[in-house]
Amino acid sequence: MKYIQKILIVVVLIICSINMNAQVYHNGLIDKTVALIGADMVQLSQIESEVQMRRFKGYVSDKNLRCEVLEQMLVSKLFLTQARLDSLNVNPDQVQASLDDRLNNVLTQLGGEKAAEKYFGKNMFQLKKEWSTTISEQLLIQQMQQKVAGGAQEMTPKQIYKYYKSLPQDSLPIISTKYRISQIAIYPDRNKASLAIKARLLDFRKRIMNGEKFEMLATLYSEDPGSNMKGGELGMASKSIFWPAFSDAAMSLKIGQVSPIIETPDGFHLIKMIKKDGDMFDVRHILLQPKYTDEDRNKAFARLDSIRTRITEDSITFYDAARYFSEDIKTRTDGGQVADERTGDIFFEKDKLKPTDYAVLKNMKVGDISAPFQSSDNEGRNGNTFYKIIKLDEIIPSHVANYEQDLYVLKNMAENKQSNDAIEKFIKDKKALTYIVIDPLFQQCDFQRSGWIK
């Protein structure tokens, strides 16, 4: 033990001697080692880099941001050290995918590689290397945290009830009003509407080829509210953020060239290439979406009215009618039952419902079936138009969480607390056994956890 302490003292002395010749940055900041935790060091430049990235992401803190970052780095080093001891590994493909996502996000928001290099004060090779290392370590840390948190056992109903009874009444969450609904949906004839849109875009393309300005037509006619007032210009962005059909068409264009008509879930586009830079490009586009006529709407409403009448007259159940008549494949097989696509939950809080659905639901009682109305799906930014009727199957009124109605909510709360307690215990135990030295520059920090300054 004394031998190890001697080695650590030597390491600290070496670090201090290195700081005598520390690097000076362009803004006068001197890089130095500001913390030693076990065999790992935390550099001031690492803290500054993370602060810069957080600010880029719009992170705001009411505390000293550098102190926050340092404490998070110290905690991360504890998990990282254990991950290495446990021989955990990361998938290189996962690292590359995360790196690509970060690069695409940064380059798109800043407007290309040169702008990113200027913002971060490093060339792209340095940024990629630094971010790749950071992401690899983050993935190892996440694995270790999951391992520690996963050691907690799944709680039994008896344990959940004990947890529930231990909570003060005023600390129990308020469960918002929830709705369970079913629907029968009919889609209009998209092919017919698409032909009309394609004819318009072909006319626009012909006019552009004859000398009219693309940006003028985009301003006047494009249905993309984010770009039409800019002449259809989207700005320099990574190809990965667009629909594949859009990106493939754009990347195949030469500067100044206009594409044929391109279809995506957002609608139909004409694209004009402005400039390219690797996997990034800046284009103008004109977006038009299929339009449906009063005839389309009236035809769908008449059919839905007929179905609704049959249900209300008890000649068919809503469940069977949805399975037989609905054209929405996501809900049809379950008798029209609407569920959250991400979680599978069949109960929706108000803010999780589509505004058009809630506008109808708020005036309904359980068991009521609505009149036909127009809605849209979520496949594109503006969605595809369709028509439907909905049935209000059940309402769970807003209430304070209780064991009888909200076992699943309480189970999540109890297991999250158990996992968080396991993580905090790991941090406390490892911190007590780990050699930690923090530079005087950070010794006045108001850390969230005590015990860092020894």
pLDDT at 383: 61
**Does an H or E element contain 260, and which?**
none
Q: In which element (H, E) is residue 170 found?
A: none
Q: Is it the case that residue 26 has pLDDT exceeding 50? A: no
Residues whose CB falls within 8 Å of the CB of residue 24, separated by 6 or more in sequence, listed in order? 30, 31
Dihedral of the alpha carbons of 237, 238, 239, 242, in degrees to the nearest 10: -60
Residue-wise pLDDT tens digits, 314-325:
999 999 999 999
From residue 147, alpha-carbon distances to 134, 139, 152, 156, 435 in Å are 20, 12, 9, 21, 23
- Nearest 5°: phi and psi at 43? -90, 150
pLDDT at 318: 97
Mean pLDDT value of segment 406-412 = 89
pLDDT at 13: 35
Q: What is the mean pLDDT of the chain?
A: 88
pLDDT bin (cut points 50, 70, 90) of residue 208 is very high
What is the mean predicted confidence (pLDDT) over 282-286?
Answer: 96
Give the pLDDT confidence of 38-53 residue by residue, as tens digits: 989 999 988 988 888 8
Structure tokens at 132: 């790749």
| 178-187+293-400 matches 191-288 in fold | yes
Q: What would the mean pLDDT of 66-88 be, rounded to a whole number? A: 94
pLDDT, residue 59, reads: 82
Whether the predicted pLDDT of 76 surpasses 60:
yes
Query: pLDDT tens digit string along 175-207?
Result: 999 999 999 999 988 888 899 899 999 999 999
- Return d(Cα 386, Cα 328) in angstroms, integer: 9
Query: Residues 139-183: pLDDT tens digits?
Result: 999 999 999 987 666 788 899 999 999 999 889 999 999 999 999
- Which pLDDT score is estimated for 302? 96
pLDDT tens-digit profile of 311-366? Answer: 999 999 999 999 999 999 999 999 999 998 888 889 999 988 988 999 999 999 99
Q: Identify the pLDDT of residue 291.
A: 86
- Domain residue spans of the chain: 1-87+154-174+412-454, 90-150, 178-187+293-400, 191-288
pTM of the model: 0.64
**Residues sharing a CB contact under 8 Å with residue 280, sequence separation 6 or more, in sequence order:** 107, 108, 112, 236, 237, 238, 239
3-state secondary structure of 399: strand
For residue 2, pLDDT beyond 80: no
SS3 337: strand
191-288 CATH choice from 3.10.50.40, 3.20.20.70, 3.30.2010.30, 3.30.420.40: 3.10.50.40
pLDDT band at 115 (very low <50, low <70, confident <90, very high): confident
Range 257-267 average pLDDT: 94
Look at residue 4 in the predicted model and tell me its pLDDT. Answer: 37
Q: For the domain with range 178-187+293-400, which CATH number is right: 3.40.605.10, 3.10.50.40, 3.40.980.10, 3.30.479.10?
A: 3.10.50.40
Other C-beta atoms closer than 10 Å to the C-beta of 392 total: 19
pLDDT in tens, 361-398: 999 999 999 999 999 875 444 567 899 999 999 999 99
pLDDT of residue 182: 97
- Is residue 14 scored above 50 in pLDDT? no
SS3 203: helix
Coil, helix or strand at residue 56: helix
CB 372 within 8 A of CB 305: yes
**Lowest-confidence range among 63-67, 123-127, 233-237?**
63-67
